[in-house]
Chain A
Amino acid sequence: MSKLTEARLRVVLYEGSGSETIPVGDRFALMSELLDSGYNVTLVNGKGEVGGSDGAALVVLGRFEGDTPSFAQADGADDGGAGVTFTDIRGKDTAAVLAAVQQVGEVKETVRPGDWKPWFPVIDFDRCTNCMQCLSFCLFDVYAVDKTETITVQNQDKCKTDCPACSRVCPEVAILFPKYTKGPINGDIVRDADIQREAMKVDVSTLLGGNIYAALRDRQRDARKRFSTERDESRALIERRRCLKKLQGDLDIPDEVLMSLPSVGDIEERAARAREKAEKRRARSQTVKDVRPAPSQEDWGI
Chain B
Amino acid sequence: MTQQPRILYCNCTYAKVVPAETKREVLRRLSESGAAFDCVADLCEMSARRDPGLVEIASAGNVKIAACFPRAVKWLFHAGGAPFPNDGVDVLNMREQDADEIVPLLLNGHPTAEVPVP
Establish whether residues B27 and A28, one from each chain, have CB atoms under 8 Å apart when the complex forms: yes
Given A44-B36, A48-B4, A118-B45, the answer on whether A54 and B75 have CB atoms closer than 8 Å is no
Chain A interfacial positions (CB closer than 8 Å to B): 4-5, 8, 10, 24, 27-28, 31-32, 35-52, 54-56, 113-114, 116-120, 122-125, 153, 156-157, 176, 178-181, 183, 186-189
Contact with B48, one of A51, A120, A176 (Cβ below 8 angstroms): A120
Query: 25 interchain pairs (CB within 8 A)?
Result: A28-B31, A35-B39, A38-B13, A38-B14, A38-B41, A42-B37, A43-B36, A44-B36, A47-B36, A48-B35, A54-B52, A55-B52, A119-B44, A122-B47, A122-B72, A122-B76, A124-B71, A125-B75, A178-B73, A179-B12, A179-B14, A187-B71, A187-B72, A187-B73, A188-B69
Q: Indicate whether B97 reaches chain A with its CB closer than 8 angstroms.
A: no
Given A186-B68, A187-B72, the answer on whether A153 and B35 have CB atoms closer than 8 Å is no
Binary interface profile of B, 70-100, with partner A (CB < 8 Å = 1, else 0)?
1111011011000000000000000100000
Establish whether residues A40 and B40, one from each chain, have CB atoms under 8 Å apart when the complex forms: yes
Where chain A touches its partner, the secondary structure class is loop
Q: Indicate whether B34 reaches chain A with its CB closer than 8 angstroms.
A: yes
Binary interface profile of B, 1-29, with partner A (CB < 8 Å = 1, else 0)?
01011110001111101000000100110
Establish whether residues A52 and B71, one from each chain, have CB atoms under 8 Å apart when the complex forms: no
- Size bracket, chain B contacts: 35 or more
Contact with A118, one of B2, B37, B48, B71 (Cβ below 8 angstroms): B48
- Note all chain A residues with C-beta closer than 8 A to B60: 49
Chain B interfacial positions (CB closer than 8 Å to A): 2, 4-7, 11-15, 17, 24, 27-28, 31-32, 34-49, 51-53, 56-57, 60, 68-73, 75-76, 78-79, 95, 110, 112-113
Q: How long is the Cα–Cα vector from A157 to B49 in the complex, in angstroms? A: 10
The 9 A-B pairs of least Cβ separation, nearest first, read: A187-B72, A187-B69, A48-B36, A118-B44, A47-B112, A35-B11, A178-B72, A179-B15, A118-B45
B79 to chain A, nearest CB (A): 5
Contact with B38, one of A39, A45, A50, A113 (Cβ below 8 angstroms): A50
Q: How long is the Cα–Cα vector from A113 to B47 in the complex, in angstroms? A: 15
- Note all chain B residues with C-beta closer than 8 A to A187: 68-73, 75
Establish whether residues B31 and A45, one from each chain, have CB atoms under 8 Å apart when the complex forms: no
19 other A-B residue contacts (CB within 8 Å) besides A47-B113, A119-B44: A4-B48, A4-B49, A28-B28, A38-B41, A40-B53, A42-B36, A45-B34, A47-B35, A48-B112, A49-B36, A54-B51, A54-B56, A124-B71, A153-B79, A157-B48, A186-B17, A186-B95, A187-B68, A187-B71
